[in-house]
Amino acid sequence: MANSVGDRRDDTRLLAVIVHSAFYVLLSASLLRFLLRHGDSERILWVVGLALALAVLYAVSELGRSGRVLWFALLVAAWAVLVVLAPSFAWCAVPLVYTGLRILSVRVAVTLVVVLTALVVLTQLRLAGWADPNLILAPPAVAAVTTALFVGMRRQSERQAALIDDLVRTREELAATERREGTLAERERLAMEIHDTLAQGLSSQRMLLQAADLVWDTDPDLAHTHLRSAAEIAERDLTEARRFVHDLAPADLAAGGSLSAALAALAARESTDTLTVRCHIEGTPGPLPQRVEATLLRIAQGALANVREHAAATTATITLTSLDDQIVLDIADDGRGFDPERAADHTGHRGHGLPAIRARVRQLGGDCTIESAPGDGTVLSAAIPLAEP
């Protein structure tokens, strides 16, 4: 994009240099012709003076649109007087036509071309002394072709400039959209991480602290046990918070542990007096990408959090199954169950619970299914495809 704009500017500069050089060549040739043929003319001082003035005036750099118009008006006036005194200077009209087409509006420039062409025809006819058809028809034809080509190129250049502006604006809008999508994706990631780690940990701490408060006077030992458990959860959640802020793996996987070991540790940690969590590994899981392992562990954490808070289950089972083309994580419980279709219509805030699990699976190109019914427990299954070896 930038190269195209730069190339167009370079072409414009090159054309301007050629036209300016042609002007000085034509001006010098016309002056030399006048001196050779009319060296003894009484107009020689006026012609030489106007030619020099025209050369200097043409070389002046103009600033601002109003300055350009005034400068060009003086240039055309000096040339017109010079042509009346010496018709051979009519050839300098060609560079003047180009300059007028370049700096003036199309309507004004075309009017100027007509006036300059008429002046050229009149002076050449006066010089020839008779109505030469070539002098009458050739200058208007050349002027018409030149004007048509320049106006066409100018309009094409304007269309290209507008197209480039549209492309640049579209690219900027696309970049802004990508930035917004990246921001939203990062917010969703943080929301899911917070829900599956800090929020669940805080919920567990609250329940443990409430339980400790209830038995503080009657059973101090049990109260202290609850406090120690709450402190352990707080320490683990602090570690998790530091890791997901830096986009690292979950704590259970950070020390190089396997996904199977991490799921077993999760099952042991989530087991309580009222809920027994088991972990089964079927098949031998091969090396998995860190992102897949972290996602499966987070899904298990989120699913067990839902079981603990909503299912009123007594047992839950984590099953990790390794197949040839995919790895499947199942979390089953014997709780109260629910209607999945009704839950899908009332999911609440995005990025929490089941929507977060579905989003995690979808990011890896997998499928998430939920089988449940009121009173029949729940089975959540997340299947992640594996890349070809």
CATH number of the domain to which 272 belongs: 3.30.565.10
> What is d(CA 264, CA 256) in angstroms, rounded to the nearest whole number?
15
* pLDDT value at residue 93: 82
Q: How many residues does the chain have?
A: 389
Contact 95, 30 (CB under 8 A): no
Domain that holds residue 347: 258-389
Domain end marker among 103, 131, 159: 131
Confidence of residue 380 (pLDDT cuts 50, 70, 90): very high
Percent of the chain residues past pLDDT 90, beyond the cut: 11
Q: What is the pLDDT of residues 188-200, one digit of tens each?
A: 766 766 766 677 7
CB atoms within 10 A of CB 320: 20
Asked if the structure places residue 70 within a domain, the reply is yes
pLDDT of residue 315: 94
Sorting pLDDT into bands at 50, 70 and 90, what band is 348? Answer: very low
123 found inside a domain = yes
Gap between the Cα atoms of 44 and 24, Å rounded = 19
User: 343 pLDDT band (50/70/90 cuts)?
Assistant: low
Asked if residue 350 has pLDDT above 50, the reply is: no
Phi, psi for residue 380 in degrees, rounded to 5: -105, 130
Residue 13 maps to a domain: yes
pLDDT digits (tens, 9 = 90+) for 156-195: 877 888 888 888 888 888 877 877 877 677 677 667 667 6
Confidence label for 334 from pLDDT (cuts 50, 70 and 90): very high
Convert the pLDDT of each residue in 240-257 to its tens digit: 777 666 555 566 676 567
Give the separation between CA 220 and CA 194, rounded to whole angstroms: 32
Assigned token pair, 46? 């006026």
Question: What count of Cα atoms within 13 Å lies in the side-chain half-sphere of residue 151?
Answer: 14
End position of a domain, from candidates 131, 161, 189: 131
Distance CA 307, CA 330 (A): 13
pLDDT number for residue 389? 42
Beta-carbon contacts of 303 under 8 Å, excluding residues fewer than 6 positions away, are 331, 357, 380
Average of pLDDT values for 303-319? Answer: 89
What pLDDT score was predicted for residue 255?
58
Does residue 32 fall inside a structural domain?
yes
pLDDT at position 8 is: 56
pLDDT, tens digit, for every residue of 89-148?
887 888 888 888 877 888 888 888 888 888 888 877 777 667 778 777 877 887 788 778
Q: What is the residue-wise DSSP string for 65-88? A: HHHHHHHHHHHHHHHHHHHHH-GG
- 386: burial class by Cβ within 10 Å (0-12, 13-18, 19+)? middle
The domain total for the chain is 2
Last residue in a domain, options 98, 131, 164: 131
Q: What is the band of 70 on the pLDDT scale with cuts at 50, 70, 90?
A: confident
How high is the pLDDT of residue 237? 76
Please report where in the chains the tokens 């329940």 appear, as a residue.
207
Q: The tokens of 246 are what?
A: 């830096």
Judged against a pLDDT cut of 80, whether residue 345 lies above it is answered with no
Give the pLDDT band (50/70/90) at residue 357.
confident
* 218 within some domain: no
Residue 176 lies in a domain: no
In-domain check, residue 7: yes
User: Do residues 279 and 269 lie in contact, with contact meaning Cβ atoms separated by under 8 Å?
Assistant: no
Q: Is 227 inside any structural domain?
A: no
pLDDT at 44: 87
